[in-house]
């Protein structure tokens, strides 16, 4: 995304990001991760997918200022963008393809999560970067890796049947001076559902067994991390040595039916624009593609210049927006660039009046729009598109280069 050109006037579509809320959320999460002995696990702030649509660089800086110990991303490319912006916290990247630039990751001091073929690819990258004997440049000494175990989610991670083999290969690569295994981790599948606590407990037990096996083969305890946002907020037994906080960083609740404020979190994003058009229509007026809505009586329609190309879900008919101090319904199908709201028969709204789809000012939570679209709040904020400017408030804004991260 390019930074808004201030000479062109105010942004037409804006996602406002409250970095003060991000800092608050980091502090709120840290307050819930105190062990019985008074120590705290490390906290990794997960800023993948451009900080869940909030702007990775700005969010990472705010999280660091609030005491986050590390940063987490999915892809090496995301880690490199953070490094290019000057962020020096340890960064873990864990999802790779055969096209991943491991050499660039090593040169940027990025920690790599590995679970199979990628361990050997990382070791090969270290070999390739090492200079010929007698060369002055010593090159990277070792790659720092975390081994990922599949404890039941069935996606990424080493399957239990291959775990022992992976550990032996890791030990061999360590002995050759190619890698240092710093940690072991996994990911939970149902921690956001309290009624399925036994399944989370089962994953925890499998992870503890995998971590113990790793420590035995490699000859030392490793940094263990398993808890995502829901587990961090609800399962202290999963906190171990480090927690990985994604959704909670942005002030959103991972639990169905539980408001973020009940968890001590503050939503960081609000999404807004202005009315592009206002017009009175008669009864029987069809609205948008398919005429799924027909005005039952004379009313006033307002045109909102955001659509599914901007990340507004096409099927979110029945959602609400905030206009002129009140909430009004979305009517008709959401189009690529725009959607329509019913302002009511006596509306006095005009083009240029502020519209907020969700955010603290309107009192409409992102969860409401997600529910209208049959999805989750994670998806709603992450899908906000590049045509929507990000305006960071309550902290140092990223410069033009960093705004592209």
The answer to whether 358 and 364 have CB atoms below 8 angstroms apart is: yes
Collapsing DSSP to helix, strand or coil, 191 comes out as: coil
Q: Is 155 annotated as a binding residue?
A: yes
Q: Is 352 exposed, middle or buried, given 0-12, 13-18 or 19+ CB atoms closer than 10 A? A: exposed
Angle 393-394-399 (CA atoms, 0-180°, nearest 5)? 55
Measured CA to CA, the distance from residue 62 to residue 395 in angstroms comes to 7
What is the rounded CA–CA span in Å between residue 343 and residue 347?
Answer: 6
The answer to whether residue 48 is catalytic is yes
The CA distance from 185 to 259, in Å, is 29
From 48, 148, 250, 308, the catalytic residue: 48
DSSP 329: E
> Catalytic residue among 250, 289, 308, 378, which?
289
Q: Report how far apart the first and last C-alpha atoms of the chain are (Å, whole number).
A: 8
Give the chain's length.
405
Numbered residues of the known binding site for substrate:
155, 336
Numbered residues of the known binding site:
155, 336
Catalytic residues, by residue number, are 48, 289
């Amino acid at each position: 995304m390019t930074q808004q050109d201030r000479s062109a006037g105010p942004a037409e579509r804006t996602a406002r990001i409250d970095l003060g809320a991000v800092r608050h959320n980091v502090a709120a999460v840290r307050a819930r991760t105190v062990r019985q002995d008074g120590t705290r696990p490390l906290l990794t702030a997960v800023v993948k997918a451009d900080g869940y649509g909030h702007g990775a660089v700005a969010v990472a800086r705010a999280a660091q200022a609030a005491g986050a110990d590390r940063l987490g991303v999915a892809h090496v490319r995301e880690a490199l963008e953070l490094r290019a912006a000057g962020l020096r916290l340890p960064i873990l990247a864990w999802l790779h393809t055969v096209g991943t630039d491991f050499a660039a990751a090593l040169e940027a001091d990025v920690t790599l999560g590995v679970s199979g073929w990628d361990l050997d690819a990382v070791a090969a990258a270290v070999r390739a970067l090492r200079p010929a004997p007698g060369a002055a440049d010593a090159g990277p000494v070792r790659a720092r890796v975390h081994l990922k175990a599949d404890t039941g989610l069935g996606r990424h991670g080493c399957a239990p049947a291959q775990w022992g083999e992976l550990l032996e290969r890791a030990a061999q690569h360590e002995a050759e001076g190619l890698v240092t295994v710093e940690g072991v981790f996994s990911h939970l599948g149902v921690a956001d559902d309290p009624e399925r606590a036994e399944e989370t407990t089962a994953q925890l037990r499998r992870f503890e067994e995998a971590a113990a096996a790793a420590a035995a083969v490699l000859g030392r305890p490793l940094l263990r991390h398993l808890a995502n946002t829901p587990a961090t907020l609800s399962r202290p037994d999963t906190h171990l040595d480090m927690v990985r906080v994604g959704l909670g960083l942005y002030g959103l609740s991972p639990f169905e039916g539980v408001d973020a404020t009940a968890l001590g979190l503050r939503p960081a994003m609000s999404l807004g624009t202005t009315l592009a058009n206002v017009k009175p229509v008669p009864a029987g007026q069809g609205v948008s593609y398919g005429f799924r809505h027909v005005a039952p009586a004379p009313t006033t329609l307002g045109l909102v210049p955001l659509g599914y190309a901007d990340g507004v879900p096409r099927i979110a008919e029945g959602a609400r927006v905030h206009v002129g101090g009140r909430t009004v319904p979305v009517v008709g199908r959401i189009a690529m660039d725009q959607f329509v709201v019913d302002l009511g028969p006596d509306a006095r709204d005009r083009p240029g009046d502020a519209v907020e789809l969700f955010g603290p000012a309107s009192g409409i939570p992102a969860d409401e729009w997600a529910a209208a679209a049959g999805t989750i709040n994670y998806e709603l904020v992450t899908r906000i598109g590049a045509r929507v400017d990000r305006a960071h408030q309550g902290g140092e804004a990223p410069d033009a280069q960093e705004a592209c991260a």
